[in-house]
Amino acid sequence: MEFWTSLASLMGVFAFFQTLLHAVIPPELRFASIKLFHRIFNYFSSHCYFDITEIDGVNTNELYNAVQLYLSSSASVTGSRLTLSRLLNSSSFTFGLSNNDRLTDTYRGVHASWEHVVTQRQSQGFTFRPVPDEKRCFTLRIKKKDKSLILDSYLDFIMAKATEIRRRNQDRLLYTNSRGGSLDSRGYPWESVPFKHPSTFETLAMDPMKKKEIMDDLKAFAEGESFYQKTGRAWKRGYLLYGPPGTGKSSMIAAIANYLSYDIYDLELTEVHTNSELRKLLMKTTSKSIIVIEDIDCSINLTNRKKPKSDNVSPIEMRTGINSSEDGNNNTITLSGLLNFTDGLWSCCGSERIFVFTTNHIEKLDPALLRCGRMDMHIFMSYCSFEALKILVRNYLGVDMDGDDFSDGLVKELEEVIEEAEMTPADISEVLIKNRLNKQKAMSELLEALKTRAERRRTASSAREENPMEEEVEVQEKRELEMPVEGDSGTDEEASGKAKEGGEGEKTN
């Protein structure tokens, strides 16, 4: 009891002297004394401190969010009291430091101590932008001798790592320009939905060697920032996917997006009216993205090499194809505008982007669109091969054709007939899906379908040999049906000839 009485007396004496000091010493002198004390302490201290606040003035501090995301990877392993959060469009949870908790990180042998400081914010008057009730910041404590290393590279490393973690945790997005090139209230021309396509290179029905070649090329592109800077090239790459319908061109695009963790911008050219709108759409795409134009030969007329209908047409109109809107629509996108979109100055306004064009008829495309620098890699999506068939059987039936589930005779017959049948992966997949509960029935029906298709092709081939003119007439009729309607028949013939020349040039390459 005496102890507590003595302690109370001492506290009273201390409060008396504190009141006396506040009354005798002016506030300015007290503030200067405290400031001098901190300077002396910092001078003799071997550490320095940096505060990274959540809000910088009225704006959100991007570095704070990056540090919070970066430390989540270490906090999930070493922390004992953590916070859990889930970002928008994210498929995983994010760990974080709790209030006033500490964590030590190591970078190039240097130790950096992080503390998450949370304090109550003093009440403020009226503001146009409300602020949180709590004031949050990260305090970085390092040794003074390591200051240059931390400021020069450590913080940049944190920003890059946070971007990588955010992209890895965030779901892919699929963008579309449903409004053409017009902007919404936020000044953005694209609309997005989560991209949930499950296609991967492992499930893609394609020859394994060909898949490995594509994957190696994609990996070299994604890791080639220093190479592109050194050679003075824009960090972009173009891929042309061509082949019959149902050979997996869309699945290939989805596999590329999932492999690189890139977003997809599905560009609908028929919704874009001018080259200017096309440039605006390009400017609003982000890095680490895939810009896709599917069925480019069916979207708009891109030949732009037609004979003018009037002698008064200027050479500039002949070269740029400004009069292409005469086909009956209001679309004035020209071949020149599309070429500048893929390989001009405007294509360099972003980095790490992939352009993917798809077509069923490569011979219809202008050779200028197919050259390297625009479409760097031409990928032929062929009919289903025997190696691709093995992948489809494993995907849909869950068995390996090299195992003991099927007889050697059945597997051998499939291998002999599949090349001649020229059946697409989509058609084969339908047979397997329909009979996926009965593996033997699925394989027997597939063999019959392949034999029927092969026999049909043999019959058609024999008929063409007996009457070769009939084949030429059929091809010409098909080509005329696919060509846009024109008033001048000579123009159609010239455009058809140019398309044929483009196809021959591609085969030569």
Diameter over CA atoms, the chain: 124
Tokens found for residue 198: 């499950």
Tokens found for residue 94: 């994010």
**Residue 61, Ramachandran bin (φ over 0: left; ψ between -120 and 50: alpha; else beta):** beta
- Sorted by sequence, the CB contacts under 8 Å of residue 364 that are 6+ apart come out as 297, 482, 499, 502, 503
- Sorted by sequence, the CB contacts under 8 Å of residue 404 that are 6+ apart come out as none
One-letter amino acid of 444: S
For residue 204, which of 193, 214, 196, 219 has the smallest C-alpha distance?
A: 214
Whether 100 shows a pLDDT value over 90: the answer reads no
pLDDT category of residue 75 using cuts at 50, 70 and 90: low
Angle at CA of residue 169, ends 354 and 81, nearest 5°: 155
What is the reported pLDDT for 507?
40
- Sorted by sequence, the CB contacts under 8 Å of residue 354 that are 6+ apart come out as 221, 236, 237, 238, 239, 256, 260, 262, 289, 290, 291
How far apart CA 425 and CA 445 sit, in angstroms, is 15
What is the reported pLDDT for 501?
44
How far apart CA 404 and CA 480 sit, in angstroms, is 51
Higher pLDDT, 166 or 15: 166
How many residues are there in the chain?
509
Q: Is the dihedral of CA 257, 263, 266, 267 positive or negative?
A: negative
What is the reported pLDDT for 251?
94
pLDDT digits (tens, 9 = 90+) for 253-274: 999 999 998 999 999 888 888 8
For residue 260, which of 239, 245, 279, 246 has the smallest C-alpha distance?
A: 239
Instruction: Tell me which long-range contacts 483-487 makes (C-beta under 8 A, separation of at least 24).
Output: 484/301, 484/327, 484/328, 485/327, 485/328, 486/327, 487/309
- Sorted by sequence, the CB contacts under 8 Å of residue 193 that are 6+ apart come out as 173, 174
The mean pLDDT value of the chain amounts to: 77
What is the reported pLDDT for 406?
84
Helices 425-434 and 386-397: angle between axes, nearest 10 degrees: 30
What is the reported pLDDT for 37?
66
Strand-pair category, 94-97 with 59-60 = unpaired
How far apart CA 327 and CA 486 sit, in angstroms, is 7
Regarding pTM above 0.75, the answer is: no
One-letter amino acid of 281: L
What is the reported pLDDT for 174?
92
How far apart CA 97 and CA 457 sit, in angstroms, is 67
Strand-pair category, 236-242 with 377-380 = parallel
DSSP-derived secondary structure for 162-219: HHHHHHHHBPEEEEE-TTTT---TTS---EEEEE-----TTTS-S-HHHHHHHHHHHH
Contact 96, 68 (CB under 8 A): yes
Higher pLDDT, 68 or 203: 203
68: exposed, middle or buried (Cβ count in 10 Å: 0-12, 13-18, 19+): buried
pLDDT digits (tens, 9 = 90+) for 318-332: 433 434 444 444 557
Angle at CA of residue 124, ends 122 and 127, nearest 5°: 140
What is the reported pLDDT for 177?
87
What is the reported pLDDT for 368?
85
Q: Which of 139-148, 219-228, 317-326, 453-462 has the lowest mean pLDDT?
A: 317-326
Averaged pLDDT, 441-447: 92
How far apart CA 299 and CA 290 sit, in angstroms, is 19
Averaged pLDDT, 295-308: 61
What is the reported pLDDT for 359?
92
- Sorted by sequence, the CB contacts under 8 Å of residue 82 that are 6+ apart come out as 75, 76, 95, 96, 97, 98
pLDDT category of residue 401 using cuts at 50, 70 and 90: confident
Q: End-to-end distance of the chain based on CA atoms, in angstroms?
A: 101
Instruction: Please count the other Cβ atoms lying within 10 Å of the Cβ belonging to residue 481.
Output: 7
The percent helix, strand, coil of the chain (3-state, each to 5) is 50, 15, 30
What is the reported pLDDT for 194?
86
pLDDT digits (tens, 9 = 90+) for 138-176: 889 888 888 888 888 888 888 888 887 777 777 788 999
What is the reported pLDDT for 103?
82
Whether 33 shows a pLDDT value over 70: the answer reads no
pLDDT category of residue 499 using cuts at 50, 70 and 90: very low
